[in-house]
Structure 1
Amino acid sequence: MLTHLSIKQFAVVDSAELEFGPGMTVISGETGAGKSLLVDALGLICGLRADSGVVRHGADRAELAAGFALADAPSARAWLHENDLDEDDACQIRRVVRADGGSRAWINGRPATVGQLTELTGLLVEIHGQHEQQALLARSSQLSLLDAFGRTDAERSAVADAARRWSALLAEREALSAQGDVSDRIDWLEHQFAELEREELEPAALDQLATDHRRQAHAADLIAACDGALAQLSGDDLPSPVGIVEQIRGSLQRMREHEPRLDEVDGMLDAATIQLDEAQTLLDRIRSDLDIDPAAFQALDQRLGRLHDLARKHRVPPEHLLARRQEIATELDGLRGAGERLRALDAEIDAARGAWQKAADVLGARRREAAAALSAETTALIGELGMDAGRFEIAIDAIEEVRPDPQGAERVEFMVAANPGQPARPLRKVASGGELSRVSLAIEVAALGLDAVPTMVFDEVDSGIGGAVADIVGRKLRALGARRQVLCVTHLPQVAAQGHAHYRVSKAAAAGITQSEVRPLRAGEREDELARMLGGAELTREARAAARRLLADVE
């Protein structure tokens, strides 16, 4: 759960430190005092987009920080561990927004991205605001809410996968069909393949060709060099190196008894004699392999020229011609089998559509079950919220689509009948502001507890209601506080009285600058705040008495 929230230089808030405990915490204040700014600050900590407008005028940056205890958030603990950001059983999140609009974030003191903030806080905090009432009017949002209530993630995934499979097969068939008559393409590719097939293109063969070509190109020079070296080694004109080494060994032989280290020198000279003999033998073999052969050189030169011509033709280096030949072979196989593949695709597309239909039927059944349960729960709740004869229904309509839809085979519409004897009509067409608030709150309460998010924030979701209905809303939120940590920004005294803890936001001008202050209320101060909410700026005896009754009813 959320344990503390620190705000500095944020909008009209100079500095605020809030501590939170379990249960329901309410935040109240006069209109325009900035009580929703606390929710806005928490939203930025949760990864919402930041801009320079949130920085207090005259400051260079706004600083926001939140602390969470993780005993009731095992999913968040696991996420932190997987991302190497864990630290005991607590989590500290900090975000700084600069006056130029840039921002930075940290999780447990380590730099983090906005995406990481969003992922982590999605496991810690759920914010419900007035904008969600309008989102509830969109049919896409209604479908998402129904699927969340029915826990249809696995079924939706199966439908989406089947639809993607069908689409991929259809795209493949369309691509093959668009090729038309490919006989000319096949003839051209076969000619190119035959040209490449006549050449040895393996890396070893190319290396040997280059070596043989260089040898023939420099054959005369190689023969002359070998003959000269052999003449010197054999001693035809001058004493041979071997003979000179033997003479040296003989002259040192007589001195070895006077200097033992000469034995090592003699061994080296003996090894040199052996190396010279082996070098002469190898040189003689090389010389015997050398021959000036113009015809052989011409053949090698022509072969090398063909390879370079092919490389230019295919716009690749010679060493990539082998890969190019394989590409052509692969394309030929595909084109030759295009007819067979087209016939096979028809069957596969039909099978994929059948698989989608089967998955969509399973999803549709789960949605109908969820719709019946959510309709019943929401109808009961809106009755408690003052729409005694109200009725909430979820209409599920099959869609006639040629293409399998990743969303499934049906669309939903939230329907409401506000008065007895009236048919249910789409929520987006009939609900007034107050009715929409009640239906929205009823749906939210009915759908709560579907995940393990430990902290729930309600930002004036009780707008448009009052009186006895407000008292019921407050009791519902307090009951929810027994299972989750609840933070509620409210303007209704009946709701505020239900809180386990109470913060008041006030606004004043200091040195010509407007500032908002946030502070916790003690028991007597809570009574004053409820009296203000009931009676306005003047705290009358009647307002105080009504405030005491509200608090007494809670106890």
Structure 2
Amino acid sequence: MLLRLTIRDFVLVDRLELDFQRGFGALTGETGAGKSILVDALAFVLGERADTGWIRAGAERAEVSAEFEVADSSAVIAWLRELDLECDDGVLILRRVVDTNGRSRAYLCGSPVTVQQLREVAEALVDIHGQHAHQSLLRREVQRSLLDEHAGLMPLAEEVATAWRQWREAQSQLDAASAGADAIIQEREQLEWQCRELSALGVSADEWDGLNVEHKRLAHAASLADGARFALGILSEEEGACEGQIDAVVRRLDDLLAYDAGLGEIAAQVASAQTELAEAVSALRRYADRMDLDPQRLGEVERRIEAVLSCARKFRVAPEALPALLDRWQARLSALGEAADVELLAARVASAHKQYDAVATRLSKSRLKAAKELGDAVSRVMQQLALGGGRFEVGLVPVEGGASSGLEQVEFRIAGLAGSEARPLAKVASGGELSRISLAIQVVTAKAASVPTLVFDEVDVGIGGGVAEVVGRLLRELGQERQVLCVTHLPQVAARANWQWQVAKSAQDGVIRSRVETLEASARVEEIARMLGGVEITEITRRHAREMLGGGE
């Protein structure tokens, strides 16, 4: 629901901060006081086209922000997550600015967004109904969703959409296979011989590195053996070798320890070197014993390396990439094998079409029943709203071949207002009639519809008396389900509100400004009395106002 609206330098408003309540609220005031300015400000922050004419005279820019409680709106929260946005404590803040150059900027939770993104999230937050306001109920997709939600058909509608996607995907695969059958056969034949060649080579993911290591060792076997023998001679086997020299040093230091114990640490270090040298000499002997020249094995390794390099050059990849290349080709070959099976694909298309037709037919039957019930219910409410003779219908227009939304389009129609023939809602109703028809639809579908805040502007145009009382009663009933704000000049409507604001103009230093006041009990009596008419408000008028307010309890 809408929690707060903050307005800066918007038309006649310099600074205004409004805290909204739950239920049904009425916005009243003298004609020309600026009641519609608040609706325009709300529409602006919700993504309405920016207009420099909205900037208050003398100001550099107009700014409006709106705070919404969205903790219970999983759809809005999910939408925000897709944009990597988060709202604090379940409160979403929308902000919009327009400057005198006509440049408009939009923000969600402090982050810049496009106006289109602002509109997208706004559609899930507020619906404005009025003669000059955007009407979501005129859009066919909204009409369809409203019917399906009201009838509890959303799960079935989603099932239809899924079946449609599966059918179309299967058909696309069949079309591609049929159109490119020759190309598929050619590609498959090429992949088959390529896979045979790589499979015959049988190179594994780690073999290439092992071959290179082994080749380097075999190719330099003579040098390695000579080096090992040279090291053994210097360290141990030749006259004056290191090993014998160190042994002599160890013995001499051991003799000198009797004269100076301070040589103990040095003697220990030399003895440690003697031990490590002996281990190194032993390891060198073992290495030299194993180091035999093997020209045959060297030839085998070189031939294997050349085979791998030749294959890698042919397929233009690095030698180590050959195993992964074979995996990709085998996967592609498997996919082509399936894609080339036109009969199998055709069978899948038929099965998917059958599944779609089955669930779509179930949805159509359910929609047909729900359309009749919704049409009758809205028609009954319309009779109470000075729309006598008008009949509301929910038409189901067949869609050839079906669509992701089902076998038909949903179309709201009205009959009896401009002729007997039922025609689309957008082509029949005037602004005032459209507002009242929307009110009737919203009242009937209140528990199913998802938009939590409704704004009605001019719903009482051309009505009065008992019909006005009905409008007030219906708005109050609607306020039990959702948050409702109504701009009205009828006391019968305002008296039914749970809370009420009064808009008035004031002049300060020659500048006209609009101000909004929250009305308490006594102030509401005065405002309702003013709305009842007459230049002078009498006690009788006040008594009548109190009676009307009492009737709204």
Q: CA deviation at 1:354?
A: 1.8
Is the counterpart of residue 333 in structure 1 residue 346 in structure 2?
Answer: no
Stretch moving more, 356-365 or 296-305: 296-305
Residues 189, 175 of structure 1: CA spacing in aligned structure 2 closer, same or farther, 3 A cutoff?
A: same
Q: CA deviation at 1:258?
A: 6.0
Query: Could you tell me which residue of structure 2 aligns to residue 101 of structure 1?
Result: 104
Query: Could you tell me which residue of structure 2 aligns to residue 6 of structure 1?
Result: 6
Q: Which runs of 5+ in 2 are unaligned?
A: none
Query: Could you tell me which residue of structure 2 aligns to residue 272 of structure 1?
Result: 273
CA contact under 8 A between 1:77 and 1:86: conserved in structure 2? Answer: no
Is the counterpart of residue 389 in structure 1 residue 389 in structure 2?
Answer: yes
CA distance in 2, matches of 1:185, 1:209: 33
CA distance in 2, matches of 1:180, 1:307: 34
Query: Could you tell me which residue of structure 1 aligns to residue 283 of structure 2?
Result: 282
CA distance in 1, matches of 2:435, 2:352: 43
> Deviation string for 1:72-102 (max 9, x for gaps)?
x75579969x998564xx8474746474533
CA distance in 2, matches of 1:104, 1:135: 23
Is the counterpart of residue 166 in structure 1 residue 164 in structure 2?
Answer: no
Query: Could you tell me which residue of structure 2 aligns to residue 437 of structure 1?
Result: 435
CA contact under 8 A between 1:52 and 1:97: conserved in structure 2? Answer: no
Query: Could you tell me which residue of structure 1 aligns to residue 65 of structure 2?
Result: 64
Query: Could you tell me which residue of structure 2 aligns to residue 350 of structure 1?
Result: 350
CA distance in 1, matches of 2:419, 2:186: 73
Q: CA deviation at 1:171?
A: 1.6
CA distance in 2, matches of 1:423, 1:60: 49
Query: Could you tell me which residue of structure 1 aligns to residue 365 of structure 2?
Result: 365
Q: Which runs of 5+ in 1 are unaligned?
A: none
Residues 420, 41 of structure 1: CA spacing in aligned structure 2 closer, same or farther, 3 A cutoff?
A: closer
Match among 449, 467, 470 for residue 469 of structure 1: 467
Is the counterpart of residue 205 in structure 1 residue 203 in structure 2?
Answer: no
CA distance in 2, matches of 1:326, 1:118: 47
Query: Could you tell me which residue of structure 1 aligns to residue 375 of structure 2?
Result: 375
CA contact under 8 A between 2:339 and 2:345: conserved in structure 1? Answer: no
Q: CA deviation at 1:160?
A: 0.5
Residues 187, 264 of structure 1: CA spacing in aligned structure 2 closer, same or farther, 3 A cutoff?
A: farther
CA contact under 8 A between 1:67 and 1:91: conserved in structure 2? Answer: yes
What is the SS of the residue equivalent to 2:403? coil
CA distance in 1, matches of 2:12, 2:198: 76
CA distance in 1, matches of 2:123, 2:138: 23
Query: Could you tell me which residue of structure 2 aligns to residue 552 of structure 1?
Result: 547
Q: CA deviation at 1:201?
A: 2.7
Stretch moving more, 418-427 or 326-335: 418-427
What is the SS of the residue equivalent to 1:102? strand
Residues 205, 281 of structure 1: CA spacing in aligned structure 2 closer, same or farther, 3 A cutoff?
A: farther
Q: CA deviation at 1:166?
A: 1.0
CA distance in 1, matches of 2:48, 2:222: 78
TM-score by length of 2: 0.81
Stretch moving more, 510-519 or 441-450: 510-519
> Deviation string for 1:306-347 (max 9, x for gaps)?
4344334434332211110111222233344555x4322222
What is the SS of the residue equivalent to 1:409? strand
What is the SS of the residue equivalent to 2:208? helix
Query: Could you tell me which residue of structure 2 aligns to residue 247 of structure 1?
Result: 248
Instruction: Give the residue type in structure 2 aligned to 1:209.
Output: L
Residues 124, 49 of structure 1: CA spacing in aligned structure 2 closer, same or farther, 3 A cutoff?
A: closer
Residues 234, 302 of structure 1: CA spacing in aligned structure 2 closer, same or farther, 3 A cutoff?
A: same
Query: Could you tell me which residue of structure 1 aligns to residue 146 of structure 2?
Result: 145
Stretch moving more, 327-336 or 526-535: 526-535
Q: CA deviation at 1:406?
A: 1.1
CA distance in 2, matches of 1:13, 1:421: 44
CA distance in 2, matches of 1:191, 1:78: 54
CA distance in 2, matches of 1:178, 1:357: 26
What is the SS of the residue equivalent to 1:372? helix
Match among 213, 218, 225 for residue 227 of structure 2: 225
Stretch moving more, 283-292 or 205-214: 283-292
CA distance in 1, matches of 2:185, 2:418: 73
**Superposed counterparts of 1:284-323, under 5 Å:** 284-290=285-291, 300-301=301-302, 303-323=304-324
Residues 429, 451 of structure 1: CA spacing in aligned structure 2 closer, same or farther, 3 A cutoff?
A: closer
CA contact under 8 A between 1:415 and 1:424: conserved in structure 2? Answer: yes
CA distance in 2, matches of 1:77, 1:357: 29
CA distance in 2, matches of 1:131, 1:313: 71
> Deviation string for 1:233-270 (max 9, x for gaps)?
2342x422221221121112224456667666555544
**Superposed counterparts of 1:446-485, under 5 Å:** 446-450=444-448, 455-463=453-461, 465-485=463-483
What is the SS of the residue equivalent to 1:448? coil
CA distance in 1, matches of 2:49, 2:220: 73
TM-score by length of 1: 0.80
What is the SS of the residue equivalent to 1:64? strand
Residues 335, 255 of structure 1: CA spacing in aligned structure 2 closer, same or farther, 3 A cutoff?
A: same
- State the superposition RMSD in angstroms: 4.2
CA contact under 8 A between 1:438 and 1:465: conserved in structure 2? Answer: no
CA contact under 8 A between 2:504 and 2:515: conserved in structure 1? Answer: yes
Residues 491, 220 of structure 1: CA spacing in aligned structure 2 closer, same or farther, 3 A cutoff?
A: farther
**Superposed counterparts of 1:523-538, under 5 Å:** 526=524
CA distance in 1, matches of 2:121, 2:139: 27
Instruction: Give the residue type in structure 2 aligned to 1:504.
Output: Q
Instruction: Give the residue type in structure 2 aligned to 1:227.
Output: R
CA distance in 2, matches of 1:452, 1:476: 18
CA distance in 2, matches of 1:427, 1:208: 77
Q: CA deviation at 1:381?
A: 0.5
Match among 384, 404, 407 for residue 406 of structure 1: 404
Query: Could you tell me which residue of structure 2 aligns to residue 154 of structure 1?
Result: 155
> Deviation string for 1:505-540 (max 9, x for gaps)?
2345655655332223456765665576666xxx52
CA contact under 8 A between 1:434 and 1:465: conserved in structure 2? Answer: no
CA distance in 2, matches of 1:243, 1:59: 98
What is the SS of the residue equivalent to 2:404? coil
Stretch moving more, 113-122 or 345-354: 113-122
**Superposed counterparts of 1:183-202, under 5 Å:** 183-202=185-204
CA distance in 2, matches of 1:175, 1:493: 67
What is the SS of the residue equivalent to 1:450? coil
CA distance in 1, matches of 2:417, 2:66: 47
What is the SS of the residue equivalent to 2:28? strand
Q: CA deviation at 1:31?
A: 5.4
Match among 531, 536, 540 for residue 535 of structure 2: 540
CA distance in 1, matches of 2:470, 2:233: 116
CA contact under 8 A between 1:62 and 1:97: conserved in structure 2? Answer: yes
What is the SS of the residue equivalent to 1:410? strand
Instruction: Give the residue type in structure 1 aligned to 2:215.
Output: H
CA distance in 1, matches of 2:329, 2:436: 67
CA contact under 8 A between 1:28 and 1:504: conserved in structure 2? Answer: yes
Q: CA deviation at 1:158?
A: 0.5
Residues 553, 34 of structure 1: CA spacing in aligned structure 2 closer, same or farther, 3 A cutoff?
A: closer
